[in-house]
Homo-oligomer: A and B are copies of this chain.
Amino acid sequence: MAISVIDKIKKFWPFGQVKMTAIGVDQFLPSQDARAFTAKVIARPSATSRDLLIKVLASAINPVDIKMRESYKNNGEFRVFGFDAVGEVISKGSQVTDFQVGDKVFYAGAQMRQGSNAEYQLVDERLVALAPQTLRDEEIAAMPLTSITASEILGDAMGYQIDSNSAQGHTIFIVNGAGGVGSTLIQLAKYMGMVVITTASRPESVAWVKSLGADYILDYHQDLQVQLTKIGHDQVDNIAILQNTNAYWSLVLQTIKPFGHIVSIVETTAPIDMAPLKNRGVQFSWVFMFAKANYGIAMETQGQALSKISQLLEEGKIKSTLTKTYHGLTAENIRQATQDVESGRMIGKVVVRHNEEI
Contact B274 A281 (CB under 8 A): no
Contact B283 A291 (CB under 8 A): no
Contact A258 B295 (CB under 8 A): yes
User: Nearest-CB distance from A228 to chain B (Å)?
Assistant: 19
Q: Hey, which bits of chain A sit against chain B, CB under 8 A?
A: 152, 156-157, 258-259, 264, 267-275, 277-288, 290-292, 294-295, 297-298
Contact B291 A157 (CB under 8 A): no
Contact A286 B274 (CB under 8 A): yes
Contact B280 A283 (CB under 8 A): no
User: Nearest-CB distance from A280 to chain B (Å)?
Assistant: 6
Contact A286 B283 (CB under 8 A): yes
Binding site secondary structure of chain A = mixed
What's the Cα separation between A156 and B281 when bound, in Å?
10
What's the Cα separation between A291 and B277 when bound, in Å?
11
What's the Cα separation between A270 and B276 when bound, in Å?
11
Contact A278 B271 (CB under 8 A): no
Q: Which residue of B lies closest to A263 (CB)?
A: B283
Contact A275 B268 (CB under 8 A): yes
User: Nearest-CB distance from A269 to chain B (Å)?
Assistant: 7
Which chain B residues border A268 with CB–CB below 8 Å?
273-275, 278
Partner of A286, one of B271, B280, B286: B280
User: Nearest-CB distance from A297 to chain B (Å)?
Assistant: 6
What's the Cα separation between A281 and B259 when bound, in Å?
20
The 3 nearest A-B residue pairs measured at CB? A271-B271, A281-B291, A258-B295
Q: Which residue of B lies closest to A281 (CB)?
A: B291
> Known interface pairs A268-B274, A297-B259. Does A284 touch B287 (Cβ–Cβ under 8 Å)?
no
Contact B274 A284 (CB under 8 A): yes
User: Nearest-CB distance from A239 to chain B (Å)?
Assistant: 14
Partner of A283, one of B267, B284, B290, B297: B284
> Known interface pairs A258-B297, A297-B258. Does A278 touch B267 (Cβ–Cβ under 8 Å)?
yes
Q: Which residue of B lies closest to A273 (CB)?
A: B271
> Known interface pairs A283-B157, A288-B281, A291-B281. Does A269 touch B275 (Cβ–Cβ under 8 Å)?
yes
Which chain B residues border A281 with CB–CB below 8 Å?
152, 156, 285-288, 291-292
